[in-house]
Amino acid sequence: MKASNRERVELHMLTSLARSQRALCRIIETIADQVAVSEELAVHMAENLKTISEYQRSMIQKITKQSPRQRRLGTPGKPWISKNVARGSSPTHD
């Protein structure tokens, strides 16, 4: 497959995944009230959303050829802030 064709296919797949994400958001918003009332429905929806999410994650990893990041447990470090930002100074413009 030519590089340009491959890029076009990958772009199409990424666009499809983005559409799928938007659709999932709409579904979640639509059923949020019903899930709040029914614990059984909430568990069922959580399982279905997890399955869809895992499928999407594997698709994006195949497209981008990136391996999944490992989640680290422990205490997070201090946030890194630039010294210029911490002092409240802004860069000078010449």
Does pTM top 0.75 for this prediction?
Answer: no
Question: Quick one: pLDDT at residue 89?
Answer: 53
- Is residue 11 helix, strand or coil? helix
Give pLDDT tens digits for 15-43.
Answer: 888 888 888 888 877 777 777 777 788 78
Dihedral sign (CA 18, 24, 29, 32) = negative
